[in-house]
Chain A
Amino acid sequence: MTAELVPTIGLEVHMHLATRSKMFCGCRVAYDARPNSLVCPVCLGMPGVLPVMNKLAVELSVRMALALNCTIPDFAKWDRKHYYYPDLPKNYQISQYDQPLGINGYLDVETPAGTRRIGITRVHLEEDAGKLMHAEHGNYSIVDLNRTGTPLLEVVSEPDVRGAEEARLYAETLRQLAVYLGISYCNMQLGQMRCEPNVSLRIGAGPDGKPLYTPISELKNLNSFRSVERAVTFEIARHRQEYLADPGNYTLAKQGKSTRGWRDDEGISFLQRSKEEAHDYRYLPEPDLVPFVPERAWVEELRKNLPELPRARRERYIKMGLSEETADMLLAEAFVANFWDVFHETLEHHQGAGKWPIKRVLELANNWTLQDVRRALNEKTIDAPSLHAEFAKQLADLVVLVETGVINRNTGAEVFNKMIKAKLDLNPKSAAEIVKEENLAQTSDSSAIEAFVDQALAANAKAVEDYRGGKKASFGRLMGEAMKASGGKANPQLVKEILLKKLGG
């Protein structure tokens, strides 16, 4: 009888930290710069240079470690990890070997089988290597060292993950946390987040009672969640097959650990380095960098300033009546959720204990935050720091103007853009000021609206005919023309009523 084979998976996840400059030098971190234009003697590994730690990188790392429930040891140090490769000009990577910034944490991951608590072995900081590309013609490779020295956070999990889907969910949860906290942008296309699952199967107990495993394979540099799930699925099946074919030999004790690559287009993994070819990293303490000794008060300050974490906040939102989808959209970035919170509270307050149903308040907060604010963020007309509490309150005032019929929704969107522009011009204005100055208040005077409707009907005889002939889509056209005639200020509800009456008559 075959023993049960239990997938035993740990993940190493690398993230570029959201800093402006590199880990040990002042070169800018950017992804679209001219090759080798963001390098200096420090990151080129010239002799005689002195690396100096980036304060923000250390702070972001400790924040992430705290969010992962890690212990922050009183002493952390740097080590050199040696390997010989053209993307690494010093021939060693500055990393942390035995005394990292964070240890012994966990991350709770929601899975279809319930919440799974995945242990975090360690969180450490290191520097990224450069980019090596192969020339299409000719027997050489080319190197761009702009990425060399980018602050790279590595989160190492315990082998607690039990399957391919769980591996993907773990990586996704980790990404959400890092983006939410502003630790990393985690853009996988840009290589800002890379996952390396270590896959093995627990075979059962050996003669001494200790568990036996299949040889560990480390899958290198997976850069999408989909490839994490596919590669782990493939690897579990491959281990099962190899083990069943040769149970006596296919064990960790006999074959050790190997490194494998993943070909996404073919959906297969392939051997890169066997145990015998494994790198001999020759770790040694980095003499050029002094240790980092975090002050307890500083760590506690960072802990205290962590926002409500995504999991708790999501639960709170769902209890409030938001859909899971909306909650997830808000939680994509902490500052959007923070903005929503203030905005929503202000709206509720405006209504002095429930003139609007709660449901309507939620709907308004969602619409404006996820449409208008999101759009402005995408178009980069506003940035995260602009979305402070004061602006949320001002936006709530604007929404009240729309909801009480002072201006219509389209004008509301226009006023929103003008508020942003005024803010950028350092001449901030309230919604009410803009409406007054530009005379944008909506017209609800039915005789005036009747005139706009008549104008639209007269100028669009064809559309009127089409409508009466059964082509109901022409209504929108006529509606638009009447609104245009009013300069966008007519109360759309009244326009609709009057138009229907006239067409029906």
Chain B
Amino acid sequence: MALSKQEVLKVGTLSRIRLTEAEVEKFGTQLSAILGYVDKLRELDTRNVEPLAHALPIHNVLRPDEPRPSLTPEEALGGAPEAAGDFFRVPRVLDEGTSA
């Protein structure tokens, strides 16, 4: 299955990657090859197979609700490209409110 140029550009946008013409070509071919492999897998009859939610055969790994020490703001901000006081500093966002 071949990916259209537009689809490759959309994946680029979603990943926040700017692609050159040559990269669109290159990644388009690579992504299409991956999808081709998935198409191959699709040939298998999986009607009676439960979808796999997790690769490990374990469940219910839980921890008690006990607070543990956090990083200091200095440590937390230490690796950030930019900080302003105790805050991370990011390019101005116009969209109002969180999306969560």
Residues of A within 8 A of B (CB): 14, 19-21, 25-28, 34-41, 44, 52-58, 75, 77, 82-88, 93, 99, 126, 128-129, 131-135, 139-145, 152, 220-221, 261, 272, 279-280, 282, 285, 287, 289-293
Contacts and interface: CB of A to CB of B under 8 A. Distances in A.
B53 A26 contact: no
Contacts of A57: 65
A131 B86 CA distance: 13
B73 A26 contact: no
B15 to A, nearest CB: 9
Given A28-B67, A52-B61, A143-B88, A87 B100 contact: yes
Contact of B59 (A134, A142, A292): A292
A152 B100 contact: yes
Given A26-B68, A142-B88, A220-B97, A285 B62 contact: no
A27 B92 contact: no
B92 A139 contact: yes
Contacts of B59: 290-293
20 contacts: A26-B66, A26-B67, A26-B68, A27-B68, A28-B67, A36-B86, A39-B70, A40-B71, A52-B61, A54-B63, A58-B62, A82-B14, A83-B99, A129-B98, A129-B100, A132-B93, A134-B92, A289-B54, A289-B61, A291-B53
B86 A34 contact: yes
B54 A280 contact: no
Given A34-B86, A140-B89, A285-B54, A53 B96 contact: no
Contacts of B54: 77, 285, 287, 289-291
A36 B90 contact: no
A38 B59 CA distance: 28
B25 to A, nearest CB: 23
Contacts of A289: 54, 61
A145 B61 contact: no
Given A28-B70, A58-B62, A129-B100, A36 B92 contact: no
B41 interface: no
Closest 9 CB pairs of A and B: A26-B68, A142-B87, A56-B65, A129-B100, A55-B62, A35-B86, A28-B67, A143-B88, A86-B90
Nearest to B68: A26
B98 A221 contact: yes
B77 interface: yes
Contacts of A41: 71
B95 interface: yes
Contacts of A82: 14
Nearest to A295: B60
A282 B53 CA distance: 16
A27 B16 contact: no
Nearest to A263: B96
Interface of B: 14, 16, 53-56, 58-73, 76-77, 82, 84-93, 95-100
Contact of A27 (B60, B64, B70, B96): B70
A221 to B, nearest CB: 5
Contacts of A88: 98-100
A75 B100 CA distance: 24
A231 to B, nearest CB: 14
Contacts of B71: 39-41, 44
Contact of A140 (B55, B56, B65, B91): B91
Contact of B98 (A85, A285, A293): A85
Contact of B66 (A20, A133, A279): A20
A279 B99 contact: yes
A14 B99 CA distance: 12
Contacts of A290: 54, 56, 58-61
B53 A85 contact: no
B76 A145 contact: yes
A292 B61 CA distance: 8
Contact of A55 (B63, B73, B77, B82): B63
Nearest to A279: B99
A362 B64 CA distance: 41
A35 to B, nearest CB: 4
A135 B63 CA distance: 38
Contacts of B63: 26, 52-55
B86 to A, nearest CB: 4
A34 B72 CA distance: 10
Contacts of B73: 34-37
A77 B93 contact: no
A144 B76 CA distance: 11
A77 B54 CA distance: 9
Nearest to A18: B65
A87 B71 CA distance: 18
Contacts of A128: 100
Given A39-B70, A54-B65, A77-B53, A140 B90 contact: yes
A360 B68 CA distance: 50
Contacts of B99: 83, 85, 88, 129, 279
Contacts of B58: 290
Contacts of B69: 26
B62 to A, nearest CB: 4
Contacts of B89: 140-143
A273 B48 CA distance: 40
A261 B97 contact: yes
Nearest to A27: B70
A399 B63 CA distance: 44
A315 B99 CA distance: 40
